[in-house]
Amino acid sequence: MATERTFSIIKPDATRRNLTGKVNAVLEEAGLRIVAQKRIHMTQAQAEAFYGVHAARPFFRDLVTFMISGPVVVQVLEGENAVARNREVMGATNPANAEPGTIRKLFAESIEANSVHGSDSAENAATEIAYFFAGTDIVG
Ligand code: ADP
Ligand code: MG
């Protein structure tokens, strides 16, 4: 097992309901350490670039509008198999399909407003972390 890092976002539906601390408690309970964190309000250009992989999906426009509808908290999480561990604790994209105790089951409002983003591979994690953080911002 290797210690690795992943990238996480607490989405606008969660910051709007003042759930940052509750989401972070679930992450920490799962053994993930928050080694960098900041609250930002993404620009449209940032959101479009971040979700560029989904540009052809029918929900892309709505997703970008949602992601810039309020502040988000961008984070770097560290731990054993952090990418997979975070995906596990996030739960399924659609909260209706998420396991009990997962962040999305506990907090998500809908398949779109589903409270958190998490990288889906170590390679994407590295790209996504570098998009929002300098190496000197991350203190493990
Ligand atoms: P995940 O966030 O679980 O990795 P995806 O990468 O497939 O899911 O999708 C990115 C984000 O796009 C989702 O977290 C969600 O906010 C939104 N999304 C995904 N599928 C849909 C959908 N069918 N309708 C509306 N929004 C969606
Ligand atoms: Mg994804």
Instruction: Report the chain (140 residues): mean pLDDT per 10 consecutive residues.
Output: 94 99 98 98 98 96 98 98 98 98 98 98 98 97
Catalytic residues: 117
Q: What is the CB-side half-sphere exposure of residue 103 using CA atoms within 13 A?
A: 31
Residue 79, strand partner residues:
4
- Count Cβ neighbours within 10 Å for each residue of 57-93 and write b for 16 or more, e otherwise: eeeeeebbebbbbeebbbbbbbbebbbebbbebbbbe
Predicted TM-score (pTM) of the model is 0.98
Q: Which residue has the tokens 């779109």?
A: 112
Q: Is 117 a pocket residue for ligand 1 (Cβ < 6 Å)? A: yes
Nearest bound ligand to the CA of residue 86: 1
Residue 60, strand partner residues:
none
Q: Is 113 a pocket residue for ligand 1 (Cβ < 6 Å)? A: no
